[in-house]
Structure formats: structure tokens, C-alpha cells
């Protein structure tokens, strides 16, 4: 069913590159601050309870960041144009499966993981920032978010997808990855603007494009606005190519 022209003048749900560039910058910076905070706990610079409180309260996090601005790395500082959005993302990580660990213990370390014999490896403190394993519920919620985002994009392209069409699109590996990236970007914008999201959804979506099929992070992966826009363009192209109903 065609609801309106595929190239209508107003495409309300289409992601705009400027918005995505801003969101990606804030996501990168806010996560860098969280990692720095976890490392500060590990070094004994900040107490665990204080760090946990900062990571939960936007106002406390902002006040603490302003007091210690000169000590923080430049890539972990909030930009002046959207401090509120930065701290919304920052405090959301602990609700999305990340956690600060009070006693991380130790782990065996080898430079480049090249050899773990007694000569080439040693024990170091484990990471104070960890993420919990994804559950089946997280995966179902991520699937639901992908379907919702795809439906909304289809409506913007003048189409109403039926269940079989959505399922067929999501079963194609290339489109599934693009749909996950598109849905993640939508979720990121929503969180940035003060909206919520279901627990585990951002992390589950992230692992569908930033991790390998074997379940490991892609080496040197970084999120870029260009990749998000390319994913949107691919989805629009495939939606436009669907046969007209009836």
C-alpha cells in the first residue's frame, strides 16, 4: 500500500547527517569519560562509591567534570554546544548493561596476546568497566526496535510493510546489519534528546554491526556518521525496489 509519494517533500523520520555527526561525537566523548572514570577508580584516584554516584546522576557528573576539567583528556570533555545531551548519554551507560566493578581482580596479560607463557605474560588488574552478557530478552527487544525503525523508514518512503516483507529484509545479512546501525542511530538520538529506550537494546544493536559474526569486537571499529547515512541510503534503495502491492 502506498501511503504517499516516495519522494515527498517532508521525510520526517529520515536521519539528518548533521544530527548524526553531533550524536556520534557526543557518544564517543561520553564513553571516553566513562572509561577514564573507571580507570581512575582502578588507580585509586576516585573512590568506587563516588564514581558510581557520578555515573548515575547527570547533575553530579557535570559538577564533578567542571571541577576536574583540567585533569581530563580532551577527547572525554563535553562540548559546549550540548552539555546536557552529553551527560544524558554518560549516565545512560550503567542502565544499558555497563557496570563499574568494585573489585575487578586480576587477569593474565601478554602484549598483543602473542604468548601467555611465564616469560611473556604477567598479571594485571582486571578492567573496572565491564558489560554484562546479552540475554535472549535483550536480543528480542533489539529485534523489535529494528522492525519498528524499518517500519517508520518505510512509511517515510511511502510504503506500508507487511510482516513477511519485514522478515525477508531482516534475514538478509547486509540489510540486517544496516537496519541495526540505522536503529542504533535512532536510539542514540532519542537518548540524546532525553527519551528512553528498553534495557539492553543499544548494546544488542551495537554488537550487530560493531562485532564480528564470531562474537568479538571488530578491530579498530569506530562509529562514523557516514556509515549511518550509507546504511539509511541502502535501506531506502531496497525499500524503493520492493514491488508495488496488489
Q: What is the pLDDT of residues 25-54, one digit of tens each?
A: 999 999 898 888 888 887 777 887 888 888
For residue 199, being part of any structural domain is answered with: yes
Domain with 82, as residue range(s), is 17-96+98-103
Q: What is the pLDDT of residues 186-214, one digit of tens each?
A: 999 999 888 877 888 999 999 999 999 88
Query: In terms of domains, do 153 and 225 share one?
Result: yes
For residue 110, being part of any structural domain is answered with: no
Q: What is the pLDDT of residues 65-86, one digit of tens each?
A: 888 888 899 999 998 888 999 9
Query: In terms of domains, do 86 and 183 share one?
Result: no
Whether 110 shows a pLDDT value over 70: the answer reads no
Cβ neighbours, 10 Å, residue 223: 20
For residue 79, being part of any structural domain is answered with: yes
For residue 204, being part of any structural domain is answered with: yes
Predicted TM-score (pTM) of the model is: 0.82
Query: In terms of domains, do 83 and 168 share one?
Result: no
What's the structural domain count of the chain? 2
Residue at a domain's end among 81, 103, 125: 103
Query: In terms of domains, do 141 and 234 share one?
Result: yes
Whether 112 shows a pLDDT value over 50: the answer reads yes
Query: In terms of domains, do 77 and 158 share one?
Result: no
For residue 185, being part of any structural domain is answered with: yes
For residue 117, being part of any structural domain is answered with: no
Residue at a domain's end among 80, 103, 126: 103
For residue 108, being part of any structural domain is answered with: no
Residue at a domain's end among 103, 125, 159: 103
Amino acid at each position: 500500500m502506498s501511503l504517499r509519494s516516495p519522494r515527498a517533500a517532508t521525510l520526517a523520520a529520515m536521519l539528518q547527517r548533521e544530527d548524526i555527526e553531533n550524536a556520534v561525537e557526543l557518544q564517543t566523548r561520553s564513553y571516553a569519560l566513562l572509561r577514564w572514570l573507571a580507570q581512575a577508580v582502578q588507580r585509586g584516584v576516585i573512590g568506587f562509591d563516588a564514581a558510581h554516584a557520578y555515573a548515575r546522576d547527570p547533575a553530579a557528573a557535570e559538577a564533578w567534570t567542571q571541577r576536574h576539567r583540567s585533569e581530563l583528556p580532551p577527547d572525554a570533555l563535553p562540548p559546549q554546544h550540548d552539555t546536557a545531551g552529553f551527560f544524558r548519554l554518560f549516565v545512560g551507560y550503567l542502565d544499558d548493561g555497563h557496570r563499574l566493578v568494585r573489585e575487578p581482580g586480576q587477569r593474565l596479560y601478554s602484549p598483543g596476546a602473542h604468548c601467555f607463557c611465564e616469560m611473556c605474560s604477567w598479571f594485571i588488574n582486571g578492567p573496572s568497566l565491564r558489560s554484562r552478557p546479552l540475554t535472549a530478552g535483550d536480543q528480542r527487544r533489539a529485534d523489535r526496535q529494528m522492525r519498528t525503525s524499518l517500519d517508520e523508514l518505510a512509511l517515510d518512503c511511502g510504503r506500508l510493510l507487511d510482516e513477511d516483507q519485514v522478515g525477508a529484509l531482516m534475514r538478509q545479512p547486509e540489510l540486517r546489519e544496516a537496519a541495526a546501525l540505522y536503529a542504533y542511530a535512532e536510539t542514540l538520538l532519542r537518548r540524546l534528546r532525553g527519551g528512553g529506550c528498553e534495557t539492553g537494546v543499544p548494546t544488542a544493536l551495537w554488537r550487530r554491526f560493531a562485532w564480528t559474526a564470531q562474537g568479538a569486537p571488530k578491530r579498530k571499529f569506530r562509529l562514523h556518521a557516514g556509515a549511518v547515512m550509507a546504511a539509511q541510503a541502502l535501506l531506502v534503495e531496497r525499500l524503493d525496489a520492493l514491488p508495488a502491492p496488489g
